[in-house]
Structure 1
Amino acid sequence: MSNKPEVIVYTDGACSGNPGPGGWGAILKWNGKEKELSGGDPQTTNNRMEMQAVIEALNALKKPCLVKIHSDSALIINAFTQGWIKNWQKRGWRKSNKKPVENKELWQAMLKAMEPHEVVWVKVKGHAGIELNERADQLAVAESQKF
Structure 2
Amino acid sequence: MMNHVDIYTDGSCDTQTRRGAWVAILLINGEKVVLSGIAPDTTHNRMELAAVIAGITYIEKNFEDIQQLHIYTDSQYVTGLMLRRDKLIKTNFITSKGTLLRNADLIKKLYELETQIHLVFTKVKAHQKQGTAINYNIDADKLVRKLMRES
Same fold? TM cut 0.5 = yes
TM-aligned CA distance change 1:98 to 1:39, over 3 Å: same
Over 3 Å counting, the alpha-carbon distance change for 1:134 and 1:105 in structure 2 is same
Deviates more, 1:67-76 or 1:128-137: 128-137
Change (3 A) 1:86 1:4: farther
- 1:93 deviation in Å? 0.6
How many residue pairs get aligned? The number is: 143
- Tell which has more relative contact order, 1 or 2 (C-alpha 8 A, sep 6+): 1
| 8 A Cα contact 1:24 1:141, kept in partner | no
Which residue in the other structure is 1:41 paired with? 39
Give the equivalent residue in structure 2 for 1:86. 86
Check whether the contact 1:25–1:36 (CA below 8 A) recurs between aligned residues.
yes
Distance in 2, matches of 1:19 and 1:101, equals 23
Identical pairs, percent? 29
Alpha-carbon separation, structure 2, partners of 1:86 and 1:95: 14
Aligned position for 1:20: 18
Unaligned runs of 5+ in 2: none
AA aligned opposite 1:87: K
One-letter identity of the residue aligned with 1:79: L
- Given the two structures, how large is their TM-score scaled by the length of structure 1? 0.87
DSSP-derived class of the 1:22 partner? strand
Whether contact under 8 Å (2:85, 2:111) holds in the other structure is no
- Give the match's secondary structure for 1:106: helix
Paired position in structure 1 for 2:56? 58
Partner residue in 1 for 2:76: 74
Q: How far did 1:77 drift?
A: 0.3
